[in-house]
Amino acid sequence: MEKITVTKIDVGDDAVITANNIIRMGEVFALCSLKYRITRTGINFHRLYQGLIHDIYSKKDNLDPYTDGYDIANTAIVFLCQHIGKRLGDIIPDRYGKSATIRQCCFRYVDSYVFRQYVAPSESSVSLDETIKLPTSDLENYISSEDDYNAVDRKISEMNLTQSENNVLECYMCGLGHVETAKTLNVNRTTVWRCRQRLIKKYNKTFR
């Protein structure tokens, strides 16, 4: 079996969106969004996640169709196409006119797509032996998740994080683990661990 070579991709604030890296960036955002939704909702998205992994690392020489998971990556790529030449850390207005980085806006855009296409249908569907119910309060909370994002952004701002701490925090918020965060940011695992310890201290100092 031919060994698969994985190319690292920089998704830090200074990373410039180019025609050469835009596909890989979109795939990373798609994977992060799926992991985030799996963690937050508990819905079984593993078929989508595994399909996306297969699409990313298989050569497609036999012209096999892409899985549904790659639609999520395409959503991220389409968003990033609007900002070719810019850095992921550049500030742009979000859909509500508030300031956010391109990375934050892209993740929210992809996350919103995942919610509309997969989360909402899953949570509002019923089996044949169940009575039909109105959407739950949890579902309403997901729909208004933009308010949650704004509240989190305010808290992060109050913590006065360094750039490296902010990058590590965003990876954790996207559902990445310790090792995955180190690979994504292309830093040593010890660096990630130290940033995590500083984040905990700053959070406790600011909010407790």
Q: What is the pLDDT of residues 69-107, one digit of tens each?
A: 889 999 999 999 999 999 999 999 887 778 889 988 898
Q: Kindly list the distances between the CA atom of residue 109 and the CA atoms of 22, 57, 78, 97, 132, in Å, as whole numbers in the listed order.
A: 16, 24, 10, 14, 30
Kindly report the pTM of this predicted structure.
0.58
Q: What is the pLDDT of residues 173-202, one digit of tens each?
A: 766 677 777 777 778 888 888 888 888 888
Q: Residue 169: pLDDT above 50? A: yes
**What whole-number distance in Å separates Cα of residue 166 and Cα of residue 164?**
5
Query: Quick one: angle between helices 69-81 and 46-57, nearest 10?
Result: 60
Number of Cβ atoms within 10 Å of the Cβ of 28 = 21
